[in-house]
A and B are shown apart, each in its own frame.
Chain A
Amino acid sequence: MASVTMTVNGKSVSGDVEGRTLMSDFLRNDLRMTGTHIGCDTSQCGACVIHVNGEAVKACTMFAVEADGADVATIEGQQNADGSLNVIQQAFQDHHGLQCGFCTPGMVMSAAALLKENPKPSEGEIREYLEGNICRCTGYHNIIKAIMAASGQDVPAVAAE
């Protein structure tokens, strides 16, 4: 077992973990922060995307010990200070960018990382960036719209909606 200490959503946390404990399991099982979801075993689905030192990371691709000393952000810390939905979260609600909600935490975290590096992404750039986030419900249509809206762009007028 190894001791780890890190900052998660602005709070210092610590725990004892096995070397094989994945970051996703540390968040879910040790910290009881279950907003980060596990949807596959091959780091394909993206439901577990978090930010580690400002970078989008699939939490199932790193061991908890690798996050020792890191600054971590998860879906649980994304709301505005007053508890209201942030711009991206609000856009997802406004544009029906989620259905079952399971992929949603990863989508929101990926979208936040995208907009940080590319504040006005095109439709094609959003689609390409989300290649590592799988959604089975929405067909991505309204997720793309939500991210365009969150970045202050006119949502394309798609026929007869």
Chain B
Amino acid sequence: MPKDGGIGASTTRREDVRFLTGKGNYTADINAYGTATAIFVRSTVANGVIKSVDTSAAETMPGVLAVFTGEDFAEVGGNPAGWLIHSRDGEPMKEPKRPVLAHGKVRHVGDAYAAVIAETEQQARDAAEEVIADIEELPAVVDMAAALAGDNYVHDEIGTNQCFDWGWIEDNRAATDEAIKNAPHVTTLELINNRLVPNAMEPRASIGTYDAAGDSYLLQTTSQNPHMTRLLISAFVMGIPENKLTVIAPDVGGGFGSKIYHYGEEALVLAAAKKVGRPVKWVADRTESFLTDAHGRDHVTKIELACEKDGTFIAFRTETLANVGAYLSNFSTATPTFLHGTLMAGNYTVPNVYVNLKTVFTNTAPVDAYRGAGRPEATYSLERVIDMAARELGMDPVELRRKNFIKPDQFPFASAAGLEYDSGNYDALMDKMEAMVDRKAFEERRKASEAKGLLRGLGINAYVEACGIAPSNLVGVLGSRVGLYDAATVRVNATGNLSVMVGAHSHGQGHETVFPQIVGEMLGIDPASIDIVHGDTSKIPFGMGTYGSRSLAVCGSAMVRATEKIIAKAKKIAAHMLEASADDVDFADGQFTVKGTDKSVSFGEVALKAYIPHEYPIEDIEPGLEETAFYDPANFTYPSGAYACEVEVDPETGKVTVERFTACDDFGNVMNPMIVSGQVHGGVVQGIGQALLENTTYDENGQLLSASYMDYVMPRADDLPFIAVDHADGTPCTHNPLGAKGCGEGGAIGSPPTVVNAVIDALQSGGKDVKHIDMPLTPARVWAAMNNA
């Protein structure tokens, strides 16, 4: 049993109280005296030449303080891509500049080319309507294949719409081709991984403040990683020295990837604050969020699975086009490559894997990492084609997967796609899932559905993913321009309570509760006496923030290392107080004790001594009790899972209802099961949303047709069942001190193919020879597939 409030306890969240009582402090809630409002003027066309922007009328409108255009930022830097990817021929990727405000050309609907600063929001909105732009509309580039074939370029200066043509692993290409050519059976599937909008419920918002006295800036913004944002603004975009710029991400209302990145609005409010001498605030409306937040997924893939007649996998080969939109967002080049291609061996001992992936510029919003980031795309391709192969081979889909699973005694396992999986037990997950689903009783449930005139299907899935991306030395070789460590400072205060400053940022994950559980257990003190400080670059060590399920595995490990340093130093102080050798002092349950005696001092007494160092060995030990650790992991962590979904399909309407969903995950050691379950619920439902409801649709002119909640179908409470989850008894990560694997994205990675597999199973049970339907499986698509089959 976990200790009360310690590691493994389902401690309720301390942060909930402020959120439940309306006392959250989100960026839009901050209203310093004199704050002005910024409103952006955005392109209504997808592609066009900016002939002129006339701001004279707007500048004379009531309350207007300043108007900016793209020309004002023509001389500052661009917002860069964080990873440099090379094409198969060795050429570096194309990196067109992404300006603060568009000048010369607008490249997607929503591309901002001017901004109005006014006393009030309404004055700014009124004045924004008076900014007169002469924009010559050009034909839009929307479809990826057409973008590659044509000579209408999103960025004229690079003379192509292809960002790069990547092969992984290029040296495996010939062997994979040969294996497929000679294989007894090949299953081929063409599929689309539908484009999604992350849709954190809090729209993006930023407030810039300039302090003339210190020539310094403050940016309060909806960020998942404030230090990254500061670095990008300082080193690449605005040139504001890091020591003159504080970035604070206060309470943030969800991110799901969309708030990892630096956006031009953040640079604009800083420049505007200096110019008008007042804080300048911008809050996106939901339409702006749809138009300008980085979108997710948007792959078009052909996958081939080659296997023996008995189902033994021989090779996976994929060709993918991945949309990057009009500009390269910060992680947009890493997401479809090293977070996708490297997972294309799945949970399997398959010897040959080859991935060819081309990234394509289009006149659409930038596309980047969204919950799962590349791994959902990999899992979807693999687990759909495996399901199709099982049907072709006449094999049970569970047995086909089991036949090819990496077995527990094969770990660590070098996958054919270049990763070394440290631990896992995929058969055990499948066993657990089958027991929870009660698969034997499925036929009875199917008969009950059929009695109601409905088709019932069971879809299953296995996934493995790679998160907590690292180590820095490796990712540097692969093209990363940043390190992927994290950092924590543990400050023991004189009276024995603690402030722990962490590089991770919590925007729903519960760090304020879970991190004290860990430190409290290590130090044998009440977690309630430990507070987490995060999100403020002036208070926390340089960390990389929260994305890619890295907070616990990377930042949590840094926190453990810093706490170990605290214990080591405290032990020396305790040894002095106890007049013993440090080697003879044990530490347990908050007490330092001389071995074999009853002589002891408490952690609190040692803390006080560190800060009031009377009778203190000052020549040997510094006063104070505060330690920092940076932690750079040796490897990714590799969570895995076995999922099942049962659906009912109404053959009259094509409507799909999710009746049951079961998620068995291996997240290694779990710190707070309640919070981990919540992460799975949310991830699974985002995946169900992708599979059945959500789609981002541009028309041929590049107009976004799904730019509101009237048109983009978010999962709602009445679309869903309860989600059955189990994440007990995981295989610990072998290379981090907590044995923890990331848990934030597994749900979104594992669920989409599970749902689609279930729908195909239902249709097949009804005698419809439907092999595949592209997501989202709306009633119209399902009905059409059934009636064309």
Contacts and interface: CB of A to CB of B under 8 A. Distances in A.
Nearest to B198: A136
B21 A102 contact: no
Contacts of A18: 122
B22 A76 contact: yes
Contacts of B101: none
Given A41-B708, A75-B21, A100-B200, A138 B662 contact: no
A16 interface: no
Interface string A124-135: 101110110111
Nearest to A77: B22
Contacts of B718: 124, 127-128, 130-131
A116 interface: no
B21 A35 contact: yes
A159 B724 contact: yes
Given A18-B122, A85-B17, A126-B717, A144 B23 contact: no
B117 interface: no
Contacts of B287: 41
Contacts of B19: 98, 101, 104-105
A57 interface: no
Given A134-B716, A139-B684, A158-B722, A89 B201 contact: no
Most buried by B among A85, A100, A144, A156: A100
Interface stretch (B132-140, B381-389, B502-510, B557-565): B502-510
Given A39-B201, A41-B286, A101-B508, A138 B681 contact: yes
A139 B253 CA distance: 15
B201 A140 contact: no
A140 B22 contact: no
Contacts of A127: 717-718, 720
B20 A136 contact: no
A22 B114 CA distance: 26
A92 to B, nearest CB: 6
Contacts of B21: 35, 75-76, 78-79, 85, 89
A96 B674 contact: yes
A35 B22 contact: yes
A100 B507 contact: yes
Nearest to A124: B718
A113 interface: no
Q: Describe A's contact surface by its main secondary structure.
A: loop
A138 B122 contact: no
A159 B662 contact: yes
B710 interface: yes
A40 B708 CA distance: 8
A134 B709 contact: yes
B180 interface: no
Interface in A24-76: 28-29, 32-42, 44-45, 47, 74-76
Most buried by A among B16, B254, B285, B508: B16
A121 B23 CA distance: 29
A140 B107 CA distance: 37
A23 interface: no
Given A93-B12, A127-B717, A159 B256 contact: no
Contacts of B678: 96, 99, 137-138, 141-142
A79 B21 CA distance: 7
A129 to B, nearest CB: 8
B508 A37 contact: no
A102 B202 contact: yes
Using C-beta atoms within 8 Å of the partner chain, give the interface range for chain B: 35 or more
Given A42-B710, A44-B710, A156-B722, A98 B20 contact: yes
Nearest to B283: A38
Contacts of B22: 33-36, 74-76, 78, 105
Nearest to B507: A100
Interface in B243-299: 251-254, 256, 283, 285-287
Nearest to A156: B722
B201 A159 contact: no
Contact of A136 (B17, B200, B509, B725): B200
B229 interface: no
Interface stretch (B24-32, B487-495, B522-530): B24-32
Interface string B184-218: 00000000000000011111000000000000000
Contacts of A139: 681-686, 715, 720, 723
Contacts of A128: 717-718
Interface residues of A, number: 62
A135 B201 CA distance: 7
B97 interface: no
B465 to A, nearest CB: 19
Contacts of A133: 717
Contacts of A140: 681, 685, 715-717, 720
A34 B28 contact: yes
Interface in B712-744: 714-718, 720, 722-726, 728
B16 to A, nearest CB: 4
A34 B26 CA distance: 9
Contacts of A81: none
B179 to A, nearest CB: 40
A85 B13 CA distance: 13
Contacts of A45: 201, 286, 709
Contacts of A89: 20-21
B677 interface: yes
B675 interface: yes
Contact of B13 (A34, A96, A143, A144): A96
A1 B285 CA distance: 24
Contacts of B773: none
Interface string B3-24: 0000000001101111111111
Contacts of B722: 123, 141, 144, 156, 158
B508 A100 contact: yes
Interface string A101-119: 1111100100000000000
Contacts of A138: 678, 681-682, 685
A154 interface: no
B255 to A, nearest CB: 8
A160 B725 contact: yes
Contacts of B728: 160
Given A47-B201, A79-B21, A144-B722, A101 B685 contact: no
A82 interface: no
Contacts of A134: 201, 709, 714, 716
B13 A37 contact: no
Contacts of B202: 37, 39, 100, 102
A153 to B, nearest CB: 14
24 contacts: A34-B22, A34-B29, A35-B23, A37-B26, A37-B202, A37-B253, A39-B203, A40-B708, A44-B710, A74-B22, A75-B20, A96-B674, A100-B252, A103-B253, A130-B716, A131-B717, A134-B714, A137-B508, A139-B683, A139-B715, A141-B681, A144-B722, A159-B662, A159-B726
Given A133-B717, A137-B201, 9 more contacts: A32-B31, A45-B709, A74-B22, A85-B20, A99-B682, A100-B200, A136-B686, A140-B681, A141-B723
CB-CB nearest 6 A-B residue pairs: A35-B22, A101-B19, A102-B253, A139-B685, A100-B508, A44-B709
